[in-house]
A and B are shown apart, each in its own frame.
Chain A
């Protein structure tokens, strides 16, 4: 490749990086003040793009129409950000990190369905920017003027943002409230109003970024998650709260993507995450970030002590297990299939619950290990001609190894960093599985993963699943009440104090992460044989979110929560799929309702009702 081509590619990367900076700076500003990673940020970018195309069609042709559409799209995105702050985020500033993540993800789902209904499933192409449609010659090669405009826009926006935050009273108050919200309030600063303004600014930047993409590339319904993950990577690499860092990191990622696509077209995304992993290992606070103030104002997700079950609970559990074992004698095939699926989901949810509630680690990529198990088992069958049992044994092994590897990089980071890193790794794995079609079958998946003859009957496979899932969940339950469980909970409640009494906190967390991964892998292996096939969707983000929803539905404070959550979730999904085409809309609404109204889950509600009935409710 010639020098000229390299230069043009570099410039193209800088232009992409400039747009990425607009979006990432918005995310960074919002995170800095609210300590919330707003998944819906990517949705605002997507909406900004769709709205621009939509508005250009309604406004007069020419320069005014185009730029007015861009401006309006940014304003609407900002307005939606204000709405999000007022209706959702405001209630979640002090709740555990998982809740705002999930709630904003619920918004993502709702916006996706809305965008699909409004603009249809096809990719949309917008017009080019009037006045900037030409090209200039760079070392003899044509280069779009519009990209030069974007390259110049990045530093201008950075300068303006600096001016706002360092040159205005509003910006100064925002920085003060970021540093110490309580003290700012004691000085008469209305934090909510300030935050509403920040959400407007940040979301408008997201919308502007989306609007400015219109002349460059096709607008798709997938750009929301892709954008927010990329923007988060930028913020992490640059250092939380550093706009200059975000600028440098955005350009770096833009250029890296531009060359990555040339060098390794299929794993350009992986390259980006690898850079992030390396940066985080060398500089945990990012290139320009400062050490975060220790603990944020977030509450712990769970303080549950998970006492071992009493005799009554044991009796009830034993009877329930016995009854479940007898089900195949009476039930039809359909019920057996449903119950088998529920057991598998319950094990997946239980492994995630263990990680969240006992380990105190929020993972947004737990499906990676579910999928690793499923693909491990499937590949053992298709590639190695393995029998079912060895393939099933391989599933937790493969997933456990994968989790050990990911965990080694992730577990020493806490809170939202861990959540986003696990999400990033799950995305890497997903793109590998999706792209490497010679081995994984790509989008077509792997088919013909059926159980051996002895287990191929519905009843036989039901029993096999019941034995493995119940066994694994009971084992997990014992572990929680064993010294390892105590040590893990101690690390969850106060890492500092746990370390001070000599507990190897990072190793405990790492072991828990690997174990949770292995059990999710077992569930994945069982899933592969239950369905006879595996697809990349098994390890995609929605599957991870399904797991989180199941755990939350069931409630975090009870070890039986995952089972309840899986059953309810499965029923809900089947009914909604049958009833409407708007599964995402419904799931999003369920997530929002759960997080905002009933964060203690079904077991929490049942517990409260039971307490009231028995008259033992404690007055607040």
Chain B
């Protein structure tokens, strides 16, 4: 088995004086999808933001391909191959679709897929016809695809997705799941924050269930689907 591309060890994080994460550890290999499941406020988003370096106060070790990144500013973390797609998408609404993609562009990286706008328009055909449209004037589903495509322009080795299926129409969700499985097939590591077990069940290989900033359950998705007791105990199902 290959070495982990992302290792998180004993991660603590705070917002102001409030402790959000406690002693969180997990690891992720290339071509693998890990889902962080938990209720609202369990610490899923904070985990992703802490990995990217967007949480000011954190402690613990975060390694990307054996390189310690815990103290680095977000732009350095991103350049080491961590791509982050936030829950609220945060596309640049004043820029066109094409310009949004250009903003995400980073040099090619050895060992991971290299993306170009043309390739991404192939992956998300809906965006191809919108490339000169201001991104503030496309639909929510299109914005979600754009947010993912924009992050892929950085040629990440690890993709962090914060509740990507939230608020999308069922048909769009299906397409998204298929796309994410495709990315996994290309060797990307995916870290997914989800409240929706159905969506995570289709995409993820392994799961961490979080509650109050701690890992309560760690296992394979197959096992969880076979015996969903932990999910019933800790998720609002």
Q: Footprint of B on A, CB under 8 Å?
A: 169, 172-173, 175-176, 179-180, 182-191
A172 with B74: CB separation less than 8 A? no
A175 with B54: CB separation less than 8 A? no
A175 with B92: CB separation less than 8 A? yes
Query: Can you name the residue of chain B whose Cβ is closest to the Cβ of A193?
Result: B75
Asked if B40 is at the interface (CB within 8 A of a chain A CB), the reply is no
B103 with A186: CB separation less than 8 A? no
Asked if B90 is at the interface (CB within 8 A of a chain A CB), the reply is yes
B94 with A191: CB separation less than 8 A? no
Residues of A within 8 A of B213 (CB): none
A180 with B92: CB separation less than 8 A? yes
Q: Which of A169, A175, A176, A185 contacts B74 (CB 8 A)?
A: A185
Asked if B119 is at the interface (CB within 8 A of a chain A CB), the reply is no
Q: Compute how far the CA of A179 lies from the CA of B95 in the bound complex, rounded to whole angstroms.
A: 9
With A187-B78, A188-B79, A189-B75 given, can you name 20 additional A-B contacts, CB distance below 8 Å? A172-B99, A172-B103, A175-B94, A175-B99, A176-B95, A176-B99, A179-B92, A180-B90, A183-B86, A183-B90, A183-B92, A186-B52, A186-B54, A186-B75, A186-B78, A187-B151, A187-B154, A188-B75, A188-B106, A188-B154
Residues of A within 8 A of B86 (CB): 183, 186
Q: Which of B73, B94, B99, B103 contacts A187 (CB 8 A)?
A: B103
**How far is the CB of B162 from the nearest CB of chain A, in Å?**
11
Asked if B220 is at the interface (CB within 8 A of a chain A CB), the reply is no
Query: SS class of chain A's interface: helix, strand, loop or mixed?
Result: helix
A186-B54, A187-B151, A187-B154 in contact; A172/B95 too (CB < 8 A)?
yes
Residues of B within 8 A of A179 (CB): 92-95
Asked if B39 is at the interface (CB within 8 A of a chain A CB), the reply is no
**How far is the CB of B67 from the nearest CB of chain A, in Å?**
15
Q: Compute how far the CA of A418 lies from the CA of B127 in the bound complex, rounded to whole angstroms.
A: 42
Residues of B within 8 A of A186 (CB): 52, 54, 74-75, 78, 84, 86
A172-B95, A175-B95, A179-B92 in contact; A185/B73 too (CB < 8 A)?
yes
Chain B interface size band reads 20 to 34
Asked if B214 is at the interface (CB within 8 A of a chain A CB), the reply is no
Interface residues of B in 91-127 (CB under 8 A from A): 92-95, 99-100, 102-106
Residues of B within 8 A of A183 (CB): 86, 90, 92
Residues of B within 8 A of A185 (CB): 54, 73-75, 78
- The 7 A-B residue pairs with the shortest CB-CB distance, nearest first, are A188-B78, A185-B74, A176-B103, A183-B90, A186-B84, A188-B79, A176-B92
A169 with B92: CB separation less than 8 A? no
Query: Can you name the residue of chain B whose Cβ is closest to the Cβ of A173?
Result: B103
**How far is the CB of A550 from the nearest CB of chain B, in Å?**
31
Query: Can you name the residue of chain A whose Cβ is closest to the Cβ of B98?
Result: A172
Asked if B150 is at the interface (CB within 8 A of a chain A CB), the reply is yes
**How far is the CB of B57 from the nearest CB of chain A, in Å?**
10
**How far is the CB of A198 from the nearest CB of chain B, in Å?**
15
Residue among B74, B104, B154 facing the most chain A CB atoms (10 A cut-off): B74
Q: Compute how far the CA of A169 lies from the CA of B105 in the bound complex, rounded to whole angstroms.
A: 9
Q: Compute how far the CA of A188 lies from the CA of B73 in the bound complex, rounded to whole angstroms.
A: 10
Residue among B75, B78, B86 facing the most chain A CB atoms (10 A cut-off): B75
Q: Compute how far the CA of A180 lies from the CA of B100 in the bound complex, rounded to whole angstroms.
A: 12
Q: Compute how far the CA of A460 lies from the CA of B174 in the bound complex, rounded to whole angstroms.
A: 86
Interface mask (B158-200 → A, CB under 8 Å = 1, otherwise 0): 0000000000000000000000000000000000000000000
Residues of A within 8 A of B100 (CB): 176
Residues of A within 8 A of B106 (CB): 188
9 A-B residue pairs with Cβ-Cβ distance under 8 Å, sorted by A, are A172-B99, A176-B92, A176-B95, A180-B92, A185-B75, A187-B75, A188-B78, A188-B104, A188-B154
Residues of B within 8 A of A184 (CB): 103
**How far is the CB of A145 from the nearest CB of chain B, in Å?**
40
Q: Compute how far the CA of A184 lies from the CA of B54 in the bound complex, rounded to whole angstroms.
A: 12
Q: Compute how far the CA of A432 lies from the CA of B32 in the bound complex, rounded to whole angstroms.
A: 73
Q: Compute how far the CA of A185 lies from the CA of B154 in the bound complex, rounded to whole angstroms.
A: 12
B73 with A189: CB separation less than 8 A? no
Query: Can you name the residue of chain A whose Cβ is closest to the Cβ of B89?
Result: A183
**How far is the CB of B161 from the nearest CB of chain A, in Å?**
13
Q: Compute how far the CA of A190 lies from the CA of B79 in the bound complex, rounded to whole angstroms.
A: 10
Q: Compute how far the CA of A191 lies from the CA of B53 in the bound complex, rounded to whole angstroms.
A: 14
Q: Compute how far the CA of A175 lies from the CA of B102 in the bound complex, rounded to whole angstroms.
A: 12
Residue among A183, A185, A190 facing the most chain B CB atoms (10 A cut-off): A183
Residue among A173, A186, A190 facing the most chain B CB atoms (10 A cut-off): A186
Residues of B within 8 A of A187 (CB): 75, 78, 103-104, 150-151, 154
Interface mask (B61-84 → A, CB under 8 Å = 1, otherwise 0): 000000000000111001100001
Q: Compute how far the CA of A172 lies from the CA of B98 in the bound complex, rounded to whole angstroms.
A: 10
B95 with A190: CB separation less than 8 A? no
Q: Compute how far the CA of A273 lies from the CA of B86 in the bound complex, rounded to whole angstroms.
A: 43
Q: Compute how far the CA of A192 lies from the CA of B94 in the bound complex, rounded to whole angstroms.
A: 21
Query: Can you name the residue of chain B whose Cβ is closest to the Cβ of A183?
Result: B90
